[in-house]
Every structure is written in C-alpha cells, then in structure tokens.
Amino acid sequence: MTESSEQQLVIKPHFQNSVQKAQKPIQNGKGQPNLEHQNTKNRARRRSRGGRKSDQGEVVMMPNSRPCTVARKPNAPEITAGALVASTNPNPNGASNSSKSVSFAPRPGFGQVGTKCMVKANHFFAELPDKDLNQYDVTITPEVASRTVNRGIMAELVRLYRESDLGKRLPAYDGRKSLYTAGELPFVWREFNIKLVDEEDGVSGPKRERDYKVVIKFVARANLQYLGQFLAGKRANAPQEAIQILDIVLRELSSKRYCPIGRSFFSPDIRSPQRLGDGLESWRGFYQSIRPTQMGLSLNIDMASAAFIEPLPILEFVAQLLGKDVLSRPLSDSDRVKIKKALRGVKVDITHRGNVRRKYRISGLTSQPTRELVFPVDDNSTMKSVVEYFQEMYGFTIQHAHLPCLQVGNQKKANYLPMEACKIVGGQRYTKRLNEKQITALLKVTCQRPRDRENDILKVIFQHNAYNNDPYAKEFGINVSEKMTSVEARILPPPWLKYHDTGKEKDCLPQVGQWNMMNKKMINGMTVSRWACINFSRSVQESVARGFCSELAQMCQVSGMEFNTEPVIPIYNARPEQVEKALKHVYHASMNKTKGKELELLLAILPDSNGSLYGDLKRICETDLGLISQCCLTKHVFKISKQYLANVSLKINVKMGGRNTVLLDAISCRIPLVSDIPTIIFGADVTHPENGEDSSPSIAAVVASQDWPEVTKYAGLVCAQAHRQELIQDLYKTWQDPVRGTVSGGMIRDLLVSFRKATGQKPLRIIFYRDGVSEGQFYQVLLYELDAIRKACASLELNYQPPVTFIIVQKRHHTQLFANNHRDRSSTDRSGNILPGTVVDSKICHPTEFDFYLCSHAGIQGTSRPAHYHVLWDENNFTADGIQSLTNNLCYTYARCTRSVSVVPPAYYAHLAAFRARFYMEPEMQENGTSGRSAKSATGVRPLPALKENVKRVMFYC
C-alpha cells in the first residue's frame, strides 16, 4: 500500500479500566446479566475433563471461578468497541476516512529462549544505489492490454532512441504505465511513434505492422533517503514506491529472458521440462522479490515450478488427453466437451503452409466433423467445404476428416482449422485444475532435499541471472551479494505432553518433533457404544471388513477409549452412486435397532479412487443426518498397520469430544498470558475458489478453543461469502427481527458464548491467529476484523472488551532456512532439514515490526518451509519469547497425529474447516447456472447448509 493510503486507516487507543473492574457482571434494567439465551446440547462434554456443564438456561459471562485463575491486571489497557474508528459498515474494498495511520505492534525485543545456532536463509543482501530514481508516466495509443506487447513496444523504443533522445539511459519498465530511470531523461515530455510487427495477427496474408504512439511524461523523483531511514528503524512506514522501483529494475532482465508469471520466472532452459501426463509438462523457474529487512534490502530468491501445456501437435495432445487413439474412430460427445474445455484459450501455430507461421487462439470446437463443414466463400453465399478449401488453397489434404475442427477468432467471424494442421505454441501456462495423477507428478518434480534446493538457488544467482552482470542493475547502481545470508537462530525446546495416568507412560517429551502412542493412553478417552459400518468398496469382502473393524475397535480400546466391539447392525454393503440412499438406510436401521438412540459413529470403507463419494458422504452426514463419520480407504483395510489404526483412533476420539494429549504446562497452569486468566484462542482462514471458477463463493472458517486452561479442543463455524472476498464478513453481524428488534450474531459472538457454556468462564483474553492474508491486505484485515471482534464482545456485555493479540500466519512465503552445515547431523533431522523448533526473529525479519519465522515441524520429504508469524496488534504485551514459545508448543497439540505440525493448530483447523465446507456447496452449483436447493442471501451469495450442532466441534478433524 502507498504511504498516502496508509494514513487513511485509524486505530485509536481509548484506554479503559482494568480487566478486574470489567469482570463485574453488568446488569441490565431487569437485574439480569445482559447475554443472549442459548439452549444447545453439548454431548461432547459428557466425559471430558475440565470445566463444568453450564445450565441449560441463560448464558452469563461471570467472574473467574477456576482454581487456575490468578486475579491480576493485564499489562495492556483495554480498548472499547468504539476505539477502532471505522464506519458502521466498513467498506471491504476501501479504508476508513480518518487521517491517522495504523501502527502495527512494534517488536518488543528479541527472543532469548532456546539453543543458539546459525542457519542460512535464501536472502541476498542488495546494496542501495546512490543515484536519483525518476518515475515517468507512459501512455501507449492505441491502448494495449497485454504486458508482453507493451514490453515489446518499449523495447523497440529503447533500441531506436536510447543513444539519442533517451540520453543513453537504460530505463526499467513495469509493462503498464510506469517507466523508471537512474537520473533524468533529457526531456520532461516527449512523444514517440513506434512500428511493431503484430505476432498475434491471425488474418491471412503478410503480417501487419501496427503503429503506436508512445508519450513519456515526467512524474516524480523517488527519494531513497526515506527508504534508508525506514531500514534503519527511524521511520514507521515503508516507502513502498521506492521498493517497487528497485524490484522492477531487478526483474527487467528476467522479464525479457524468461516467461514471467506473477512474481516468478519460468524457462525450459533452467531445467528440462518433465511430463505430467494428459498433454502437460512442468517447467522449473525461480521466485524473486526485494524485501526490506533488518539487515537492509534483501533479494529473496526461491525455486518454483508450474504446469505448462506441452508444445505438441494437436492430435498428439488430444490422444494424451483422452488416453486413446483418436485417428481411427469418431469422438463421443463427452470427448468433445473434454477437448473443448482443455483447449479453449490456447494458442496454436499452423503447420500446413510450409515456412509460413501464424498464431491463433482457440475459441471453441465444431460440433460437426470436418467432412461436414461448409462455409460461404463470397458475397453470393457460394458454399465450399473445409476439406475442398484446404486442398485447393494450400494443397493440404485433410487425412482425419472424421474429427471436428478447431474454431479460432470471435463468434461473429470464426475460422476453421483442422486439428492435424495445428501445433500448440510453447510457453503457455496451464491454469486449470490438475488431476491427481498430474499433482503427484508435479510434487515429485518439485520435491527437493534442502541441499539440492540450496544449490539450485545459488545457480540462479551465479548462472541464470548473474545480477552483477545485469545491465539494469549496473545502470541503477544496485549490487547484489552472491552469498546466502547467515542468520542466528534458536531451537526452542519441545513441550512435555500429558497422557492419562493409567498408561505406563503418563507424560512424554517429543524427540525431533515426533512421538508415538506406545504405552500411552488418551488423556480423555471417550466412549463409543453405538456404531455402524458401511462398505462402498466392491473389492472388500464382508469378512475382511469385519476383521478391520474389529482391529480398529481393539486399537481404540488400547489407546484409552471405551469402544463396543460389535456394530449396532451388520456391516452394510452399498454402491458409491447410491450414497445418500445407503446412508439414510443405515441411519434409520440403526435407530430402529437401538429404539430411537442415535448412532455415535459411522465407519465408511471407500474405494481408493472415489471421485465425489467422500465429499458427498461428508455433506450428507454433517448437514443432513448429523452423523459423525470416519472414512477409511480400501488399501488401508487390506494392509492393516498398527500406526494407521492408532492414527484413526486419535481422529475418532477427538470427533467424539475427547482429547488425546494436552500440554503439561497447561495442566500445571504455567503458560504465560494463557494460564493466568480465561483465554480463548481463535484460528481463522478464508479459502478461495481455484483459477477459472469465476462465480464460486469464498469460504470463511473460524475455530476457537473450548477447554481453558488446556486450549486443546476447538469448535468451528463456516460461512460462504462473496467471490474472492478476503475479509471475513460474518465475524459479527446484526439484523432486524420483527419481535426482538435488533439481534446480534456472528461467528465470534457464537464461539465466545460456546466457550462460556463449555468452561463456565467468560474469556478475559483473546489470541487470534489469522491465516491466508497477504502483506498488502494487512491493514484492511486488521481494521475490519479487529473491529468485528470488538463489536461481538460489546454485544454480549456492556464494557466487555478483553485485550486482543492479532497474529497473521503465512505459509505461502518464499523464505527458506537451511542448515549452516549439511554434514552436521546434530543440526538437522533425518531429511536434512533444520530441526523442529527453529525460530528466527532477526536480520531477515521486518526492520521494526513484531514478526518471526518458526519451523515447528520435522521434515518428511522435500525442504521444510517455516511459517511466518506477524503480530499486527498486541494488547496483551507478549514478549518475543512468550508468543514464540506459545506458538511452538501449540504445534504439538494437533489432534490427528503424534507429530508437531508446521502451522499453529487453530489456523490449521480453520483451513481444514474451510476446505471441508466446499463439499457442502457442491450440489448447490448447477451446470446451467440455476439455483439449487437454497436461495441466495441479500449479498447474492448462496449460504451454506446449516451444520448439525454435534458437528460444529469436529468437522475440521476430518
């Protein structure tokens, strides 16, 4: 964001009385605490440890009563709901109209906990130039949408006029409206006329030369002094414009040499393309970005891979796509649809005219075979067949006239091209969804051991880019180091984990990020009395399914659950295409057998390749029947391993409301700023539809801990919102009810009430982990979502404003950390990655703000990527050690495995919940665009079907 826009965002501190004063219940006019009435069952609490069941009547935010509570005043002052100056209905696309800027949380110091070590980061120091940077506005007429064409025009202009009119300057161009130079051009305003051969010309005849008028006009001089002050920590806001100019300069040469996509560059020359199947191949490339850090400007380089369409003859591509011979037999309707979907928008070269090459973009596919196609050849509507035309015009005999033709051009004037006369142009990225086979092949290509990845990154610096020989870098005076940055790191100790006292091992200290369930029992093992199994796999015989279920029941018992060894009804065999009918049959048959008592668990055996079956099953179980389900693939049923059964038993226990393990420090009330007063930990994420899905909604998910002081068990809520909307719209909302008037609701409010019901306490501190936000959205997300949290709290009780710590979690960044010495086995795990618990908060981190990189997991394959945590807002006054240790320790509480995970669990669960909710909306999306079973909301987004109450706490455990 630019500096000017930053100044429009305001968060105004408005100090209140301490939490101790706020703890007193605020009375309304009737003498009752002012909180909404809730009356929901909480079956998950039946056998769980800690907390008490609340009354089934009114939910009241009450003072602390847990023995863990220490009444004290928190370090940070509270902020009222009105402290965030924003409009009542904040504009998701804009900022507040205030004139004071937001200040993110400053770094409170550097962490000291852990064993110190040195690591290498894929950051390369870039020395600031001492030259003036000048910005010029570029106007090209007629206007061109393609950056590639724009670059071609400007390259021709520089070639013709660099030595004369441009005063020997070598400018850098962003491909759109801005041109940058080191030093001034000899003019303030000038117009140039440029002729450029149109490579995209698809009209018959000689290629056209297009005339363009280019106007270059001086705009401003960028002062690098501000950037130097920011890097030195003497200025709060980053001068984004200066950083952007330097970034464009260092990207200029790569933009000419390679295929630019986003912030990455790809080329078949970096590494030979690898086939992915169905006409696709992977290209290797590299990501590049210049970043402000504590050590100064840093060039972040990482390796990247992407899927491209293989430059094949169309017939060969189609044969690969369909997986069959297309030369001898006609295509079916489904074949034609598949081809049309894959080729629409793809560029092709013609091959039937000798040395003449023309590029066309495919717009469609004819419904008729080539031999039946005719078109008018003159104004008298004289018709000629496509076969005759190509024979007479080009002497080209169409051999496979049973195949359809490609359509190129627009609908008004579509041209026909025989498939056999076309070849796909190289360098076209494939943006549609990959199938499972292609994903597996791409992962295999991209999976690199740390040492190999480090070597490839260094090759980019030394060979592919050689920044010290880059004419643009020289022109602008930018020097890039050829050495990776060495940075001091610390390895945080793993936390002790508590298991049930009846097991041989009552507690456990993980080793290198992992442990196992041997000799341990779940700390809160649940009871499963009524369960059933449905088998959708034809290859699994009933006896095999029975044996698997028996082994699973025994493992659940060994792990600490009470699990009935016999199902309510015999195992039911069903066909995948009749999933709804089968599920309802098992549900009702079980209810009849148990005289109205509901099933507690449904086991489902699925084929290894099951298409939409898994999603359909979860949707029906969780939004229609209210069934908790556990799916198992056929390959695991046949090959029963103890480790697999143990993992499934962990999943089943948390789905039933249990806990597998908790942090020993949580039991002992020793977690700073969590154990002292009731603390709720939120996780939130928004997932967006894939590229090409232009109308599908985005899905927001929020989860929150429900078992203070253990902070291990979570409940979750999901909602659909506008396409690609990042701000979570339903955190807090109000609506008008004819009887009750203005009613408050939303995900934050509901989860606060749920916490109160589960623990008997009102949260007096909020920690909010927000996943999936890019740096450019930090201000908007903080302003909007912190305001929603404030309003949700205030709607529950007057002056109820618990202090909030708001943390962004980023996994999609490109900072990699490597062992300083790959041969030193004491500093790496078995995969050669840095050890779990490695944290970095200096040198490569933000110059002044509160962020850190944490690799909390052990690598399995490939190179471990640390998570980046950025504390945007902190009213709880966490120290660096406090938030780093809390985050690392929480990563050992992930319920689905006995390993530490790479992202803090509440954020992980929110991501899983949002991903799961996509299954709920599939039936609503019809092929013809008509609405499904539910109507659209006022915002134009079709809401998700309601989750059953017993599902809200388990959906994200999968």
HEC readout, 126-149:
EECCCCCEEEEEEEEECCCCCHHH
Q: Do 250 and 288 meet the contact criterion of CB atoms below 8 Å apart?
A: yes
Q: What is the pLDDT of residues 237-253, one digit of tens each?
A: 888 889 999 999 999 99
The Cα–Cα gap between 488 and 737 comes to: 58
For residue 816, give Cα distances in angstroms to 21, 301, 660.
Answer: 46, 9, 32
In this prediction the pTM is: 0.86
Joined tokens for residue 137: 């506005």
Portions of the chain given CATH number 2.170.260.10: 314-425
According to CATH, the topology of domain 525-658 is: Rossmann fold (3.40.50)
Indicate the DSSP class of residue 537. Answer: -
Joined tokens for residue 303: 């390796």
Q: Is the pLDDT of residue 946 over 90?
A: no
- Pairing mode, strands 572-573 and 531-535: parallel
Q: What is the pLDDT of residues 667-712, one digit of tens each?
A: 999 999 999 999 999 999 999 988 767 778 999 999 999 999 999 9
**Element at 769 (helix H, strand E):** strand 765-771
Mean pLDDT of 580-609: 94
The Cα–Cα gap between 11 and 2 comes to: 18
Portions of the chain given CATH number 3.40.50.2300: 525-658
Q: What is the pLDDT of residues 76-134, one digit of tens each?
A: 333 333 444 333 333 333 333 333 457 899 999 999 999 999 999 999 999 988 878 99
The Cα–Cα gap between 618 and 612 comes to: 10
Mean pLDDT of 282-299: 95
Instruction: Single out the residue of 834, 891, 890, 841 nearest to residue 870, CA to CA.
Output: 841
239: exposed, middle or buried (C-beta count within 10 Å: 0-12, 13-18, 19+)?
buried
Q: Is the pLDDT of residue 29 over 70?
A: no
The Cα–Cα gap between 892 and 901 comes to: 7
The Cα–Cα gap between 517 and 897 comes to: 10
According to CATH, the topology of domain 314-425 is: paz domain (2.170.260)
Q: Do 233 and 457 meet the contact criterion of CB atoms below 8 Å apart?
A: no
Neighbours of 726 (CB within 10 A): 19
Q: What is the pLDDT of residues 841-863, one digit of tens each?
A: 999 999 999 999 999 999 888 99
Neighbours of 511 (CB within 10 A): 10
- Going by C-beta distance under 8 Å and a sequence separation of 6 or more, which residues neighbour residue 794? 80, 81, 800, 801
Q: Looking at residue 89, what is its pLDDT?
A: 37
For residue 61, give Cα distances in angstroms to 27, 43, 66, 455, 765.
Answer: 11, 21, 14, 57, 13
Q: What confidence category does residue 415 fall into, taking pLDDT thresholds of 50, 70 and 90?
A: confident
Q: Is the pLDDT of residue 59 over 70?
A: no
Q: Do 597 and 607 meet the contact criterion of CB atoms below 8 Å apart?
A: no
447: exposed, middle or buried (C-beta count within 10 Å: 0-12, 13-18, 19+)?
middle
- C-alpha 151 chain-centroid distance: 31
Q: Do 557 and 563 meet the contact criterion of CB atoms below 8 Å apart?
A: yes
């920690």: which residue's tokens?
Answer: 767
